[in-house]
A and B are shown apart, each in its own frame.
Chain A
Amino acid sequence: MPRRNDLHRILIIGSGPIIIGQACEFDYSGTQATKALRADGFEVILVNSNPATIMTDPNLADKTYVEPLTRAYVEELIRRERPDALLSTVGGQTGLNLSVELAEAGVLDKYGVELIGAKLDAIKKAEDRLLFKDAMRSIGLETPQSQLVTTVAGGLDFADRIGYPCILRASFTLGGTGGGIAYNKEELVEILERGLDLSPVHEVLIEESVLGWKEYELEVMRDLADNCIIICSIENFDPMGVHTGDSITVAPAQTLSDREYQMMRDGALACLREIGVDTGGSNVQFAINPKDGRMVVIEMNPRVSRSSALASKATGFPIAKIAAKLAVGYRLDEIRNDITRKTPACFEPTIDYVVAKIPKWAFEKFPGADPTLGTQMKSVGEVMAIGRTFKQALWKGIRSLETGRAFGSEKLEKSLITKKLITPTPDRLNYLRFALAAGYTVEEIHDLTAIDPWFLTQMKEVVDFEGELAGTTLIAATREQFRAAKRFGISDVQLAKTWGATEIDVRNRRKELGIKAVFSRVDTCAAEFESFTPYLYSNYDYGDEAEPVDRKKVMILGSGPNRIGQGIEFDYCCCHASFALQEMGVESIMVNCNPETVSTDYDTSDRLYFEPLTLENVLNIVDTEKPDGLIVQFGGQTPLNLALPLKRLGVPIIGTDPSNIDLAEDRKLFGKLLDDLKIPCPENGTATNVEEACAVAGRIGYPVLVRPSYVLGGRAMVIAYDEDMVRQYMREAVSFSQDRPVLIDRFLEDATEVDVDALADGGSDVLIAGIMEHIEEAGVHSGDSSCVLPAQSLSPQTLATIEDYTIRLARALNVIGLMNVQYAIQDGKVYVLEVNPRASRTVPYVSKATGVALPKIAVGLMWGRKLKDYGLATGKLSVPQVFVKSPVFPFNKFHGVDPALGPEMRSTGEVMGVGMNFGEAFLKAQISAGSPLPDKGTIFISVNDRHKQEAVDIGRRFSELGFSLVATRGTANALRAAGLPCKTIFKVNEGRPNAVDLLKGGNIQLAIYTTTGAPAFYDEKAIRRSAVTYRVPCITTMSGARAAADAVAARLRDPIRVWSLQEIHEAKTTVA
């Protein structure tokens, strides 16, 4: 079956904002699919609400819609575009669910759109856990026994039959809420009651536990001719019970004999055929009992998944790209293997290295969240490492994580070992090493963790050798010891730490002894055939296959694992840097270690080094490639941390000078610069002890904002309203020292925050790309507040001032490339909060709103071009419509965490809403962010005294829009005093029925609930929590409430309409 010529226009649905469990991997898959289909002459229409993605780049698809991923908006889009087919399998769970919804609602039939990839019945068979289990049993595959229960009693007697522990999953709850593992009757009752209560259909699935079994995944592809291949086998280091997304995983499977592996392969193929996934990639999860080899199927995903991304990067086999081609009729044997060129894609990749994936968590940002790892995924990102052996890969992976702590300097409690081994948490890996070093035997650790002895033995070998190294010194260490250390994957930093030397001493000594890294290729075939794609990883064997080319080349340092505050936005920038370089005829070399990203696709850059972003690994590549330039300003903080050291070692960093980037971070120097420029910033000071802090705060005047030096994403930043809070903060919250003082700023209350992105060419030209007005007032982290382009409420003078400051700052810092400035405006006065002379989180959003790919131009400027070469000059880009960016939060994954917004960033992703007016754009943004605003019903208002007057205005607007009001006593009085009808309800601690009861009962459609400023009281928190739990949008700032009123008005006023970025920017953006 060759290409289907009856299809012409294909709709691809993306996966929306980055959330826990659904990250960049679907930008990777959507982008690959789009590229593949267009290359084949299909017209691709793409929709995704996430502006930070590469896939939503206007020049990638024929039509690109950044619109809400809901039936209403996508139906409107289908009505306009009339696609022939919908590819349902590359947009993650979101894309799949929406496809199903559109199919079941008859939308696809109505407009004659064919579902390709996976058919409706196949998807349902795979997604419905019970249908799936029946299907598996019907073909003789075992699955853990399970039953849906609707009562505690029913649950108890099923549990008695299958025995404890057992796994509980509440039906249709957000991200596994209401599920858990019950080890006894009491826990079962507790979890079950909660689950039944939380499940909208009051249903919980109880399942036989296979905790401690070995967990595996197979990545399978199938074409319309029923040719099936396995792309990759993945073995989980952490046994069943820890979600694959939270497990360290290893490819290929390490502890299966051929007999067992083939049994699993047969099972996976049978599963795919029975479910009826007729084309594309799927993944099947298995568990094997290590005692007798009994195998059960856990689940299958009839679509490209997180593991598919991992498998693609691990083998060099582009699953999403091939899946797309299969969906349009190609057979596997009709598609070529890009890497070998000669051989077809119809084969099973084989690898001659080992791949380890390690997740990255962000619990420190969610105090009160339970860090225990279980059946629900909690990690926010991951790294992948490739080594010649498992040991090398694992140690490389640990190094890629950027824990911020030097390897081995983790604080470990001997007394906690047993506990930390038994209960999996993010630091179990550290405790494994620690336990081995402390003399625990492999058997003992296996008994506590059920981790396969083979993995533990591998770790032990390294830990033992670390012991040997501790016994020698930099000078005494033999060539053999150096060589062994490197082959084990031990970093120069770790050696330096062990020997009390510097990393560079170690590096030099090592090279003296002739121990140098070489690079091997990822080639899908274990070197059986020649490879034509330079997809490389370092190791300490002998043969080097880097084969650097002699031409102008620039290296781009990526942003490493996703984390809160540094995510896909920076991958967007890095990919664009690469595209721009290629357009300029410069060879682009990408360095990154995040398997989810587009930047780690072997065809994104001319050359790809899949390596940790550490000084050591970057220098190894520099030694081999000898690049003409190195770009550090696009990868977020990760490459910036390397900028100065690299510069000192003479690596040619292009763009803004690292010392100027650093200057902007340095309080004193930067303060002086602002004085010289006569640009105001909030009064501030630093303190290294409690008394000093109180003194400084007293001088500045409360409230103040206190934070440690050198932090990102507003880490550990709090607003102190009085001296007690300052004392408490200094006592408990942070560690500080002479060289790391605590920073204290006057907190600008009720100030409007503004983000500015600008381009400067080092000459005199500075282009203001976007002035983004935040919806939430200053005090809510820029990454956590919604913002709008163009600014809505700023006066012409204010805008002029902002432009003037920005231009002067750019010139003063001699910025070449991108710059981001944050301002706060209080009573008409503009203050600078911070300057980041580098790509910021908002670059993709601004690029999409203005229709100008900022990073592309930035790279040109770094490479010596001037703004005028792009027909641009000092001035400001205009935006044709209104664009609102809104954050997305993971609160539904973290029970008991207060969702109130503050200066510490906690959002995982973002969405963009496009409209003709602010209300419409904000409305769409809220829908995309998963907190749609109501069009009727009851609004619950409770605000502190400072906000009473505004609350009245807002209350009035809502009642005019036909909503009824309920409020807590104080607010209610204010509302009534203003003549607004309003019901009074109890606060939680006042009695019942209280606000929580109403939320739970579904009697409230929107909650407006501001903090009193002081650390949230139980009451407030309880209300905001239950709003999250029962999915009632909860607004915690007055400005947010105002915006919500605009949005609701728009919802009642404006029709449902969508625009493609292409049509929005048709009229070529001009410089205003």
Chain B
Amino acid sequence: MNTAILALEDGTVFEGKSFGAPTERSGEVVFNTALTGYQEVFTDPSYAGQIVILTNPQIGNYGTSSGDNESRGPFIEGLVVREFSPLASNWRSDAAADAFLSRAGVPIVSEIDTRTLVRHLRTRGVMRGVLSTTRSDRAALVETARSIPTMAGLDLASRVTTNERYEWTHGVDSCSPSELTGTPRPREFHVVAYDFGIKHNILRRLVHSGCRVTVVPALTSAEDVLALKPDGIFLSNGPGDPEPLTTQVGNIRRLIGKKPVFGICLGNQLLGLAMGGKTYKLKFGHRGANHPVRNEITKRVEITSHNHGFAVDPDSLNLNEVEITHVNLNDQTLEGFRHRSHPVFCVQYHPEAAPGPHDSHYLFEDFTRLMREAR
């Protein structure tokens, strides 16, 4: 069997069976506990720079289907699983997961004791690692793991953003004759969406809720955005540390108060910084599809989809200006807030789901309501 090795910066080394691309990639090693949606994880740009462990031991079972991509292709650096299925069994599948990742040059290591690995990261915190099918010198691999830059301080968003502006018009389509997606709203609003690594399902949901979307590069200036005469501005999810993104934060600061603003994930962190708050790195992040988040306004609990390693420190926010709207019930971290005087709100988790529960779709309706009121 072809072996692959995962080496961590703290010297821990795991060896397993190799699938995917025969190559070597490195990055921050993180774990996701979702039971479904591996393809959405592969293709979520927020995973740029990360080697992903999936705790569901059986991966690949239902293959991949082009309709389920969250971006132009896979962004993960590498995949670590307990058991990988070369066979794809699902009527929608148009490519096996193996081929899907190979084509994108992503290595896979299978037969790994992912539970032990996750418990390791849970106690030590996330760390850098190398996944290699080409080298077997463990010491050398550990060295490489130590040599790669850490996430903190990296501007990954500018690396994954689009080079030029484009229009998005594709709505939500159903995956089965029985899926009830609801009738799309008539096009009513023009939304300019900053692409810091935006997921397609955010765009689909915006269109579904009645928006025409113009996607702009991460560094587009506030003025250029306003020049597009948007009804509202969207701040997307994206990879890595928000702090180095000072230009973006500057732009956002200049947009607050001008137009309704909705931010998700990285967008939420950038808004936090723009409103004078601070962000910090979580020990091992939130990555999964089962996090309970309470809406502090309605007191309803939503089961939500998460993918973030950084978070906004609620104590750093000026609560006269900012109102906390969502809290994570597992660890009380801040999951969402809004501006008290301007139509600006954001959530740390992923209301667009993909993968994950649909409990939070209502936030897109909230956004369109704000735009309607702002007219």
Contacts and interface: CB of A to CB of B under 8 A. Distances in A.
A351 B176 contact: no
B97 to A, nearest CB: 11
A294 B176 contact: yes
Contacts of B290: 347-350, 525
Interface in A206-246: 225-227, 229-230, 233
A257 B175 contact: yes
Contacts of B115: 352, 388, 520, 526-527, 541, 543
B292 A333 contact: yes
A142 B178 CA distance: 7
B38 to A, nearest CB: 8
A478 interface: no
Contact of A293 (B85, B91, B294): B91
Contacts, number: 194
A258 B89 CA distance: 14
B39 interface: yes
A348 B35 CA distance: 10
A342 B355 CA distance: 25
B54 to A, nearest CB: 9
A352 B55 contact: yes
A457 B58 CA distance: 13
Interface in B285-318: 288-292, 294, 299-301, 303
B279 to A, nearest CB: 22
Contacts of A333: 292, 294, 301, 329
Contacts of A225: 299-301
A1015 to B, nearest CB: 50
A542 interface: yes
Interface in B44-69: 55-58, 61-62, 65, 67-68
B243 interface: no
Given A293-B176, A343-B330, A352 B301 contact: no
Contacts of A389: 57-58, 82-83
B365 interface: no
The size class of the interface chain B forms with chain A is: 35 or more
A262 B353 contact: yes
Contacts of B67: 259
Contacts of A418: none
B308 to A, nearest CB: 14
Interface string A335-354: 00000001110111111111
A258 B355 contact: yes
Contact of B87 (A227, A261, A453): A453
A344 B37 CA distance: 24
A528 B33 contact: yes
A713 to B, nearest CB: 39
Contacts of B329: 333, 343-344, 346-347
A776 interface: no
B136 interface: no
B90 interface: yes
B36 interface: yes
A347 B34 CA distance: 12
Given A255-B90, A333-B292, A140 B36 contact: no
A259 B355 CA distance: 8
Contacts of A390: 58
B87 A457 contact: yes
A227 B329 CA distance: 13
Nearest to A520: B115
Nearest to B41: A258
A367 to B, nearest CB: 40
A263 B179 contact: yes
A454 B85 contact: yes
Given A292-B177, A346-B292, A454-B85, A353 B68 contact: no
Interface string A288-303: 1011111110000000
A252 interface: yes
Most buried by A among B57, B116, B354: B57
Contacts of B291: 347
Most buried by A among B62, B82, B178, B291: B178
Contacts of B36: 253, 256-258, 261-262
B40 A258 contact: yes
A141 B176 CA distance: 12
A532 interface: no
A40 interface: no
Nearest to B177: A294
A343 B300 CA distance: 17
B258 interface: no
A266 interface: yes
A520 B353 CA distance: 30
A529 interface: yes
Nearest to B60: A454
Contacts of B354: 258
B68 A259 contact: yes
Most buried by B among A347, A390, A452: A347
Contacts of A452: 89
A308 B258 CA distance: 52
B83 A263 contact: no
Interface in A346-382: 346-354
B119 interface: yes
Contact of A266 (B68, B292, B301, B358): B358
A980 B179 CA distance: 72
Nearest to B116: A543
Interface string A908-922: 000000000000000
B73 interface: no
B201 to A, nearest CB: 10
A373 B225 CA distance: 65
B323 interface: no
A952 interface: no
Contacts of B113: 541-543
Interface string A5-26: 0000000000000000000000
A265 interface: yes
B210 interface: no
B233 to A, nearest CB: 28
Given A265-B357, A343-B329, A452-B89, A352 B62 contact: no
Nearest to B112: A541
B72 interface: no
B227 interface: no
Most buried by B among A263, A290, A342, A526: A526
B180 A266 contact: yes
A295 B34 contact: no
Contacts of B292: 333, 343-344, 346-347
B301 A257 contact: no
Contacts of B31: 528
Interface in A133-184: 140-142
Most buried by A among B31, B35, B358: B35
A1011 interface: no
Contact of A257 (B62, B122, B357): B62
B92 A257 contact: yes
B114 interface: yes
Interface in A258-310: 258-263, 265-267, 288, 290-296
Contacts of B355: 258, 262
A173 B82 CA distance: 48
A257 B65 contact: yes
Given A347-B330, A541-B116, A454 B178 contact: no
A874 interface: no
A254 interface: yes
Contacts of A388: 57, 82-83, 115
Contacts of B119: 527, 543, 545
A229 B357 CA distance: 10
B357 to A, nearest CB: 6
Given A259-B176, A344-B330, A542-B116, 9 more contacts: A252-B56, A256-B90, A258-B34, A259-B67, A295-B176, A457-B87, A457-B89, A527-B119, A541-B116
- 9 closest A-B pairs (Cβ-Cβ)? A543-B116, A258-B37, A293-B176, A259-B175, A454-B89, A526-B55, A258-B355, A541-B113, A295-B178
